[in-house]
Structure 1
Amino acid sequence: MIVNLIVIALILFIGFHYSRKRNKDSDYNRKRYIKTICFILILQSGLRNVAVGTDTYTYFLSFEDTKNMSWDKVWQIVIDYYKYNQGKDPGYTVFEKLVSLFTGEYQLFLFAIAILFFTALGRFIYKNTDGLRDAMVAFVIYSVLFYSFFSITGHRQTIATAGTLFAFEFLKKRKLFYFLLIILIASTIHKTSLVFIPLYFITYLKKPNYYFWIVIVLFPVLLLISNAVALYIFSLTNSYEEYQHMDELRPVTFVCLMLLISVTALIRYKKIIKLNPTATFYYFALMIGIVFLSLVFAIHGYMRIVQYFSIFIMLLIPLILRSFNSAGRKIEFLVYSCAIMILLFFFLKSNIDMEYRFFWEEMRLEEVYL
Structure 2
Amino acid sequence: MIMFLLLAIIGLRDVSVGADTLSYTEDFIRFSYMSFSEMWNLAFTTKEPLYVIISWMPSLLSTHYTCFLLVWALFPVCSLYKVFKAELHDSKDFFIAILIFFLLGLFAFYVAGIRQTAALSLVFFAGAKYLKEYNMKDITSVIKSKTIYCFVIFIGLSYLIHNSSILFLLAIPLVFLKIRWWYLLLVFVLLFIGKYVQIDQIVLLSKLFFEDRFATYGTVYESSQNISALMMQIILFLICFIVKDKLIKRDIRNNFFFNLLFVGLVFQSFSGMIAEMARISFYFSMFAMILVPRAFKEYSISYRKLIYFVFSVVCLYYLFFLTGSNLPEYHSVL
TM bin (shorter chain): 0.7 to 0.9
Deviation, structure 1 residue 157 = 0.9
- Out of 280, 283, 291, the residue aligned to residue 305 of structure 1 is 280
Match of 1:38 in 2: 3
Q: Distance in 2 between matches of 1:165 and 1:347?
A: 23
Match of 1:20 in 2: none
3-state SS of the aligned residue for 1:336?
helix
Deviation, structure 1 residue 220 = 4.0
3-state SS of the aligned residue for 2:211?
coil
Deviation, structure 1 residue 318 = 1.5
Alignment CA distance shift 1:75-1:179 (3 Å): same
Match of 1:191 in 2: 163
Alignment CA distance shift 1:162-1:218 (3 Å): same
Counterpart AA for 1:338: V
Bigger relative contact order (CA 8 A; separation at least 6):
2
Are 2:323 and 1:350 equivalent residues in the alignment?
yes
- Higher-Rg structure is 1
Q: Distance in 2 between matches of 1:226 and 1:124?
A: 38
Are 2:232 and 1:272 equivalent residues in the alignment?
no
Number of aligned residue pairs: 314
Q: Distance in 2 between matches of 1:154 and 1:255?
A: 21
Answer whether contact 2:48 2:162 (CA < 8 A) is retained: yes
Structure 2 counterparts to residues 1-370 of structure 1, below 5 A: 36-81=1-46, 88-144=47-103, 145-150=105-110, 152-168=111-127, 169-173=129-133, 174=142, 175-205=147-177, 207-210=178-181, 212-213=183-184, 215-216=186-187, 218-224=189-195, 227-228=198-199, 229-234=201-206, 236-237=208-209, 239-240=211-212, 242=214, 247=222, 250-326=225-301, 328=302, 331-348=303-320, 349-351=322-324, 354-360=328-334
Match of 2:137 in 1: none
Counterpart AA for 1:218: V
Q: TM-score of the superposition, structure 1-length normalised?
A: 0.77
Answer whether contact 1:264 1:320 (CA < 8 A) is retained: yes
Name structure 1 gaps, 5 residues minimum: 1-35, 82-87, 361-370
User: Which 4+ stretches in 1 moved above 4 angstroms?
Assistant: 235-238, 243-250
Alignment CA distance shift 1:247-1:340 (3 Å): closer
Answer whether contact 1:160 1:187 (CA < 8 A) is retained: yes
The CA RMSD measured in Å over matched residues stands at 2.5
Deviation, structure 1 residue 115 = 2.1
Q: TM-score of the superposition, structure 2-length normalised?
A: 0.85
Q: Distance in 1 between matches of 2:207 and 2:158?
A: 23
Name structure 2 gaps, 5 residues minimum: 134-141
3-state SS of the aligned residue for 1:351?
coil
Q: Percent identity?
A: 23
Question: Higher helix proportion, which one?
Answer: 1
Answer whether contact 2:20 2:113 (CA < 8 A) is retained: yes
